[in-house]
Chain A
Amino acid sequence: GAVVSQHPSRVICKSGTSVKIECRSLDFQATTMFWYRQFPKQSLMLMATSNEGSKATYEQGVEKDKFLINHASLTLSTLTVTSAHPEDSSFYICSAPGTGVSHGYTFGSGTRLTVV
């Protein structure tokens, strides 16, 4: 089945630095990638939708200048958290639609970001 490889799985960074998270579709072409954020004991909240070759669409309340999304190819979508702060510490996960079991959604393995 379809696989989305997400890296890194865990990252610790200092406050004020930037962190890039990558999601690669290994055996299919992902024209769309959804990026979610999940705080402890909470649900997955959609941050933005990336589309290959065009600008990402951000959900209300998500700062586009802080969370930079790039989808330059059909197999790679990246999320860069710029000038990270402790409140950005969270579990970030990507998802490609229409590719999973029964043509649902394929999820990356997630990235645990800790900002110190």
Chain B
Amino acid sequence: GENVEQHPSTLSVQEGDSAVIKCTYSDSASNYFPWYKQELGKRPQLIIDIRSNVGEKKDQRIAVTLNKTAKHFSLHITETQPEDSAVYFCAASTGGTSYGKLTFGQGTILTVHP
């Protein structure tokens, strides 16, 4: 089955700096790669996703890049703010007309210092 590895496990940055979180996946059939932000005791909140037919997607301060050949994808957050502090998870699944199970990475605790 799919295996998703996420690094780093913790990331500490100063407000205004950029943060990068990286994930690798093992199943070449995976074609849907979402990123979630999760606050303690809450459901995961989708912040951005990308499908395997594109290499990059951007939404304001957040961007995701995908390298299908190397089977890795990354989350980039620019101009970080204290409210960006949370746990971030990458995930992978097979999408399309019938979505398969979502496999999550181990998570990254992001701390943005004012």
Contacts and interface: CB of A to CB of B under 8 A. Distances in A.
Interface stretch (B13-21, B60-68, B72-80, B104-112): B104-112
Contacts of B42: 109-110
Interface stretch (A12-20, A43-51, A62-70, A79-87): A43-51
Interface in A19-45: 32, 34, 42-45
Contact of A105 (B97, B102, B107): B102
A2 to B, nearest CB: 12
B29 interface: no
A71 B93 CA distance: 22
Contacts of B41: 91, 110, 112
A49 B106 CA distance: 20
Nearest to B34: A104
Interface of A: 32, 34, 42-46, 49, 91, 93, 95, 97-98, 100-105, 107-110, 112
Interface of B: 32, 34, 41-44, 46, 49, 89, 93, 95, 97-107
